Amino acid sequence: MKAVRIHEHGELDTLRYEDCPEPTLTGPRDAIVKLQAASINRRDIGNRRGTTGSAAALPHILGADGAGVVAEVGRDVNNVKPGDRVCLYPLSGCGRCEFCATDREFLCGERRVLGEHENGTYARYVRAPARNCFAIPSGLTFAEAAALPSVYLTVWRMLMTNAELKPGEHVLIVGVGGGIGSAALQLAVHCGARVIAASGSNEKLARAKELGAEQGINYQSPGFTEETRRFTGKRGVDVVVNSAGGDGWVRSLAALARGGRLVTCGATAGSQPRTDVRRIFWNNLKIFGSTLGSRQEFAQVIHVMENTGAKPILDRIFPLRDATAAQRRLEEGKQFGKIVLEMDG
């Protein structure tokens, strides 16, 4: 089959579109999925560079997110059958620890994520536990379904489970053009929240307003905190979605109303921002970390897409063989929404 693999860690030139063996069933509860599309995540860049700590054997196929058609299933599988259109929950745990026992495999110390610890989705076929196969919401293309898993799952957990976002609340979304940011915009607007979008690009702010943001602000603006406070009558926002970390972290905390919640899942711009701890306790702030989410939360995401007819926000679709150009677009921060790879035929 055709796949995009790395034979060594490094920059974009390590991505190779090449022939490699198809995966085979290794257990009675596995499935083989013939992929039609995969989507790109920031994490793929870290896995390519070898900075995520993954010890996957090389050569290795990247990609956590995929959608396609079930091709083959193990003898104990009864939740899916060949021919089913599915998208993939991206991880599995040890099945024995306290986290696995309570549908929190994303916290399992032995968790295995597609494209990180297992061969991933930048390929024609992938092997996954059959229980990770979820029916694609009707009306979604394979490309749209491939955009769903990692970011919509993560954002759902951040906004709905952790922040418990309510209609009418003000949400500041930092980095609205990214996969996480654009999914947060969509789900927050859907929930009836009032969104302030922050981006490094004025064009992306205009796009965010088309998609329902009430206000837009460039996070490089020196008056960032004052502006966000002005938008809320000086009160501050109820929730901040910040997956960037870096210098903007301090300004994100400063933008919160007393009792406000900040949800984070990433540190694209830096992992060790300076924080004045007093601001957190004086103002009774709550900070929630998130990493992906549970199968139940993934089912909720799919349910919402199914029932509302909402579709993930796609930036651009590239053929699989152009994975280098697709990852370059992400590295250069040009995207608004999810960048997708499509397989031939």
The binding site for Zn ion (CB under 5 A) comprises 93-94, 97, 100, 108
> Which parts of this chain interact with ligand NAP (CB under 6 A)?
41-43, 150-151, 154, 174-181, 199-201, 204, 219, 243-244, 246, 248, 265-269, 291-292, 330, 333, 335
Q: What residue number has its CB nearest to Zn ion?
A: 108
- Choice between 112 and 311, CB closer to Zn ion: 112
β-bridge partners, 86: 68, 135
Q: How far apart are CA 86 and CA 68, in angstroms?
A: 6
Q: Which residues contact 227 (CB under 8 A, 6 or more apart)?
A: 217, 221
CA separation for the pair 266, 172 (Å, rounded)? 16
State the binding partner of 219 from ligand NAP, Zn ion, none, CB within 5 to 8 A by kind: ligand NAP
Nearer to ligand NAP, 17 or 288 (CB): 288
CB closer to ligand NAP, 24 vs 271: 271
Q: How far is the CB of 186 from ligand NAP (least distance, A)?
A: 13
- 213's contact among Zn ion, ligand NAP, none, with CB below 5 to 8 A by partner kind, is none
Q: How far is the CB of 204 from ligand NAP (least distance, A)?
A: 5
Cis bond leading into 319, ω under 30°? Answer: no
Cβ of residue 187: shortest distance to ligand NAP, in angstroms? 13
The option from ligand NAP, Zn ion, none interacting with 246 (CB < 5 to 8 A, set by class) reads: ligand NAP
**Cβ proximity to ligand NAP, 56 vs 269, nearer residue:** 269
Could you give the CA distance from residue 223 to residue 234 in angstroms, rounded to a whole number? 13
CB-nearer residue toward Zn ion: 55 or 277? 55
Per-residue b or e along 247-285, where b marks 16 or more CB atoms closer than 10 Å to that residue's CB = ebbebbbbbbbeebbbbbbbebbeeebeeeeeeeeeeeb
CA distance 300 to 335: 26
Tell me which of Zn ion, ligand NAP, none is bound by residue 94, counting a contact when its beta carbon lies within the kind-specific cut-off of 5 to 8 angstroms: Zn ion
Residue nearest to ligand NAP (CB): 178
Tokens 């290794």: give the residue.
Answer: 26
163 binds, among Zn ion, ligand NAP, none (CB under 5 to 8 A by kind): none
DSSP structure string for 225-275: HHHHHHHTTTS-EEEEEES--STHHHHHHHTEEEEEEEEE---TT-S----
Vertex 235, ends 230 and 239: CA angle to 5°? 100
Residue 97 contact, options Zn ion, ligand NAP, none, Cβ 5-8 Å cut-off depending on partner type: Zn ion
In angstroms, rounded to a whole number, what is the distance separating the alpha carbons of residues 240 and 172? 5
- The C-alpha atoms of residue 187 and residue 167 are separated, in whole angstroms, by 11
**Angle at 318 (CA atoms; ends 316, 323), nearest 5 degrees:** 120
For ligand NAP, which is the closer residue by CB, 124 or 251?
251
> Nearer to ligand NAP by C-beta: 129 or 248?
248
Pick what 74 binds: ligand NAP, Zn ion, none; C-beta below 5 to 8 Å, kind-dependent.
Answer: none
Distance of CA 210 to the CA centre of its chain: 22
Which one, 199 or 294, has the nearer CB to ligand NAP?
Answer: 199
41: three-class secondary structure by DSSP: coil
**Partner interacting with residue 269 (select from Zn ion, ligand NAP, none; CB below 5-8 Å by kind):** ligand NAP
Task: Give least dist CB 255 to ligand NAP, A.
Answer: 13
